Amino acid sequence: MDFSVLNEALASKSFNKIADICDNLMLQVAAEGVPFRDEWPFAIHLLGQIYIDDNNSARFLWKSIPPAIKESQLEVVAAWKIGQKLWTRDYAGVYEAIRGFDWTQQTQVLVAAFSELYTKRMFELLQSAYSTISIQDAAQFLGMSEEDASNYVLGQGWTVDPTSRMITVTKQAIVKEQKLDPGKLQRLTEYVFHLEH
């Protein structure tokens, strides 16, 4: 089976394409009637779905994996453990699932990229949902120690009060693009003016 397209995506760190590549390859080999289950990279496929935040597809992929593979490939089970934690919104558990397995070299890069992306998502969630949050809670959401979480949010422009152990969230200004430039508005005004007179 030719996984060169998948390997190229992994090598170029195009992680957002992995799920689609795996889905298309799976459809292609299934249409040809080629038995593929034993050599299929289920862990990478699951992690690809998880990376693009497609938990439904990851769940259905998990259900389609034969029990023999689930028993023999521990990395597949470890990848699904991340999916389970995401499904139940166990934010701290996601980080535990990531750190709780010794990933192979091929999946380690993808897992590290997902961990970084997930931390950014959690930071954005905190930024949109909180005005103040305890250091302990922020550390849990960001999957870091309290000291690392404090340093991370300080680097993002938030303020930390060490006496109350609270973080004040700094909302970023929302930049709205003006959809209509003045020249277009002027032409529209002239057009309406000519229609009325």
Hey, which bits of the chain come out as E strands? 132-134, 159-161, 166-168
Q: What is the pLDDT tens value at each position of the chain, 197 positions in all? A: 678 888 898 889 999 999 999 999 888 888 887 777 778 899 999 999 999 999 999 999 999 888 988 889 999 999 999 999 999 999 889 999 999 999 999 899 999 999 999 999 999 999 989 999 999 999 999 999 999 999 999 999 899 998 999 999 987 765 556 566 777 778 878 878 877 77
> For residues 134 and 156, what is the distance between their CA atoms, to the nearest angstrom?
16
> Which strands sit side by side in the sheet containing 159-161, from one edge to the other?
132-134, 166-168, 159-161
pLDDT given for residue 174 in this prediction? 58
Residue linked to tokens 């991370």: 152
- What pTM value is reported for the model? 0.79
